[in-house]
Structure 1
Amino acid sequence: MAKYRMGQNQGALEDAKHALELDPMSAFAWSSRGMAESGLGQYKEASISFEQALEINNKSPSIWLNKGMALQNARDNQGALDAYEQVLSLDPNNTMAWVYKVMALRNLGRGEEAVRITDRELKYDPASITLLMRKAYALYSLNRFDEALLIYNRILDLSPANFDALLYKASTQMSLGDYLGAIKTYNQVLQFDGNNTEALQYQALAYYRLDQYEPSLALNDRLIAQDPKSSLAWSNRGYCLVKLGRIQDAIKSFDKALELNPRNYNAMSGRLIAIRAVWPHYR
């Protein structure tokens, strides 16, 4: 629904209710209602709407997935886990369902269970990229970054052009504080997708943490060229400029970030840092 995609969740909800008055047996309308309710933070109501949709069409992985996410947001992790299991029974390669399943297990205090599940399955298919990716993500979610990195490297030995593995490997290197390694891995990502926002954003962060502010600034400028309305990129640009001593330019960047998103607290803090660099007693 166009209104939902535009973030106009209340309007989308009204549209869905109207559609259901015309056709109460429309799984699409019930699902659309659930999406709008989720967008409004009405997660219990959303889960009920998705359940109504599933009574009409219980073979839809996407509806099961959305129900699971609504239940998880409503802090019903067991219900969410059951929904993700349904997704995986219908679509065994559904990456998102596995990711959210791991989150639900972790929230239930059963995070290690995800590792054991993949270990059992890998005994029968040790070269399965899907299973290796699942185990690596489960380890990552448990903060076992060294072990996760070993598996991402194994995946890339088997499938050097695996885009998702490259992204997750770089993220794992960031978590380990291996910023140089992450920069190299993000370069590989950018060889496949030169405008990948995640790679550009985190590569900029890696350079920043290495005190290499010029390349970090250049990457944030590149992100802004791609999306001039990115409050995050404008804010991060401001921090680079502060470190480079370009205080007035930094304040302008933070102002732009706050114009785009008045609730960007990172930009608020950065602007205060920049002002105090000029007027130390400013409060």
Structure 2
Amino acid sequence: MTQRDVRRSGTRLTRRGRFLVTLLCLAALAGGGSLAWATWQDRTASTRRPPAAGAETDPGGAARTEPPGEVSSNPPSRERPDGLDKPDGSKVPAIGSGSFAAARITGSPVGTGTLRRYQVQVENGSGVSPAQAAAEIQAIVAHPQGWAKNGRGRFQLVSGRADFVIRIATPATADKLCAEAGLDTGGELNCETGRGVVVNLRRWLLGSPQFDGTPATYRHLIINHELGHALGLGHLGCPGPGKPAPVMMQQIKGLDGCRSNAWPYAANRTYLTGPTL
């Protein structure tokens, strides 16, 4: 209602009355603006999603054929978008593109027995070269203390059709790929899904705080542990204080008195085992 409306109604206003009406109109306008601002703030706040935590797990499964090429995945929102710190102060990307580039490299078969062909894929935007990662994994598979050199499998790096795929993925994408197999890796761990091996980028670049060795050495443990699952092996425990931890032990969860170890076999080709879990 305006002052003109009041005059038309036949009501006479004093100067003081007109002043009070003006104040009331201004207050109503201000109140409407405040309500609109508060409503916008509430609507904006409702779109923010707090991060969620996940439990640690490092499960296994059996390998099967996975078509090569680019794979798409939509990472979950629970990962921190600012990344994770590396020792040099730079960031490990927490969330990636969800698409993968395959290494275009084919190597010679290593080991004996049934041939298992594997392809290496790296998530786009992770900062890791697919060719370099594939060359490093090929060297891990061919290591004298590995599975292939000790009669536990025959493996070949290929660029085309493969029996299983080894993917290096950001924590968010790794969580999604592992979750599709019912596994919760909590932004931290690797897994073997039945569709191949998923390597968490953070573990690939940083290693593990539980592992007494460099990240490059820890990569041997990652690949050997997950290939062990692909070979049908389950988890093992520590065989005794001071002894080497089996590669099938979940060393990232603690060593229980064992020493860090990244290879299935000792230098003398003795299989490093422990109690079945």
**Which range, TM-score by smaller chain?**
under 0.3
Comparing both structures, which one devotes a greater share of its residues to strand? 2
Comparing both structures, which one devotes a greater share of its residues to helix? 1
Indicate the structure whose relative CO is greater, using CA pairs within 8 Å and at least 6 residues apart.
2
TM-score (norm 2): 0.21
Larger Rg, first or second structure (1 or 2)? 2
TM-score (norm 1): 0.21
